[in-house]
Amino acid sequence: MEEDKIECIMRLEEEQQSSGVPFQSLERLGLHSLPNLIGLFKWEAVAAPLPRGTFSCLQVLSISGCDKIKKVFPPCLVHNFHNLQFLNLRDCGQIEEIIEDDKNEGADITLPRLKKLFLQNLSQVKSICKGKMICNSIGYIRLEGIKNIKEFPLYFPLLDGQLSHPPCLRTIQIDREEKEWWESLEWPHHNAKNVLQHLVKFQFNDKGTPGMYFWNKERNA
């Protein structure tokens, strides 16, 4: 398949022809510089189901330079990515939502093993998710070029009755030219900014290298 014609990773139909589970053993997926990519999935039928176990081993998802994709995850499928550890989204000029919420339900989203979140140069993104984003394993967050984001939905646990940042969180990296944007962000709790202040580092961000890659668990065995 020619890379510049790729529209999606998987087409979903009412009745899947294959009895197997697609991408069940995939651990890393990189989608870079694919001009016609509109999303991970393309529905050929309304409410077509995603086979159970699809992407269940995925640990790393990186998408960059894909200017037609507008939404990354449908909310009903987020649970398939429960092993995701690193989410990297950058240089995708049309992304509007990271986790879609067409019904405006504002449901909380849980990514229990997510350790790193990179969101960079997403000029149109307005929402990460409408509910709270529960990521108790998150250790590193990197934000740059997402100035249309007005609220950061990170969930804050209580520790001994006091508001606390996620227990593994060590660093939030912000481009130092965007300090004013960071200071203007709204949070689910009024004291959240103070709780995070000692973790925030303002510095210039470097540039990544484009490419396309994916690995199966069997390949690394």
The residues with which 61 forms a beta bridge, in sequence order, are 29, 87
84-93, 96-105, 121-130, 179-188: range with lowest mean pLDDT: 96-105
Largest CA distance in the chain: 55
**Is 164 a residue whose pLDDT tops 80?**
yes
- Are 57 and 89 within 8 A, CB to CB? no
Mean pLDDT across the stretch 34-54? 76
Query: pTM here?
Result: 0.85
- Residue 211's domain is classified under what CATH number? 3.80.10
Domain with 96 in it: 3-220
Higher pLDDT, 178 or 48: 178
Quote the mean pLDDT of the chain: 85
9-13, 70-74, 121-125: range with lowest mean pLDDT: 9-13
DSSP class of 49: P
Report the distance separating Cα 2 and Cα 8, nearest Å. Answer: 12
Number of compact structural domains in the chain: 1
